[in-house]
């Protein structure tokens, strides 16, 4: 049964066609939020989530945009506000992961991962700063890998570290308008992004790092995001909430 904790709000979730983004969209819709699902490449996956939300009496629609391009982010916000009339919640979830030894990393790899993970978050926050309603919520998705000292993750954690520092500054900048800005940092979570290139043994090893002896599920992350998106979290801002089951 929906808690309606953030009833009658409008949220934009980037990278919402699968994994953690899709779980966040579902959870917010269950809480009574109208949801704009952003996707970059697969309209069928995004539309399936929209249909699922609609079948549960929620409101949602999908918009394609490459968040690494400022013009497309602006168009994404145009579409969201045109459709629902306002924007109260922004979840910057879109992200990619390139994991390889530093010596093998190319300039193309670097530009691609920073384009989506850092520029995408920055441009979306910029649009929110211009157009979000008073008392809004911005939640940026980082990663617990920023404190795990994993080999081959140097570029990825550099992008997520940038997101974390951006969040701290924006919390003070947007605070006078009652807008909270926080980070949620998942630990190892059972998503397509996490499992790429990993064996079952690898996944079990990561799962055992958590206090509960398992990988996180997308719904675990969505629950924390829903709390930060709610009015209950009005006094939480500039924080990094590590939702990782005690992995670190």
Tell me the Ramachandran region of residue 245: left when phi exceeds 0, alpha when psi lies from -120 to 50, beta otherwise: left
Residue 97, Cβ neighbours under 10 Å: how many? Answer: 18
Q: HSE (CB half, 13 Å, CA atoms) of 78?
A: 8
Rounded to 5 degrees, what angle do the CA atoms 169, 173, 176 make?
A: 140
Residue keyed to tokens 């081959």: 152
Distance, CA of 233 to CA of 178 (rounded, Å): 11
- Asked if 190 contacts 221 with a C-beta cutoff of 8 angstroms, the reply is no
Question: Which is the catalytic residue, given 7, 39, 153, 156?
Answer: 156
Catalytic residue check, 156: yes
Residue 235 makes CB contacts below 8 A (sequence gap 6+) with none
Distance, CA of 64 to CA of 123 (rounded, Å): 15
Tell me the Ramachandran region of residue 4: left when phi exceeds 0, alpha when psi lies from -120 to 50, beta otherwise: left
Q: Which residues are designated catalytic? A: 156
């Amino acid at each position: 049964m929906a808690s309606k904790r953030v009833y009658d709000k409008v949220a934009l979730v980037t990278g919402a066609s699968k994994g953690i983004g899709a779980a966040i969209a579902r959870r917010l819709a269950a809480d009574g939020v109208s949801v704009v699902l952003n996707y970059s490449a697969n309209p069928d996956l995004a539309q399936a989530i929209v249909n699922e939300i609609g079948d549960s009496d929620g409101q949602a629609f999908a918009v394609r945009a490459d968040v690494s391009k400022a013009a497309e982010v602006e168009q994404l916000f145009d579409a969201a506000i045109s459709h629902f009339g306002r924007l109260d919640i922004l979840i910057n979830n879109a992200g990619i992961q390139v994991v390889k030894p530093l010596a093998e990393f190319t300039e193309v790899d670097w530009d691609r991962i920073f384009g989506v993970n850092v520029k995408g978050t920055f441009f979306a926050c910029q649009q929110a700063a211009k157009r979000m309603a008073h008392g809004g919520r911005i939640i940026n998705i980082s990663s617990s890998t920023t404190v795990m000292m994993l080999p081959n993750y140097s570029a990825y954690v550099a992008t997520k570290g940038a997101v974390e520092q951006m969040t701290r500054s924006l919390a003070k900048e947007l605070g006078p308008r009652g807008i909270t800005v926080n980070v949620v940092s998942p630990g190892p979570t059972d998503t397509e992004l996490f499992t790429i290139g990993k064996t079952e043994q690898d996944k079990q090893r990561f799962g055992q790092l958590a206090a509960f002896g398992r990988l996180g599920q997308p719904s675990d992350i969505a629950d924390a995001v829903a709390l930060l998106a709610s009015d209950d979290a009005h006094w939480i801002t500039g924080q990094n909430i590590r939702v990782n089951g005690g992995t670190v």
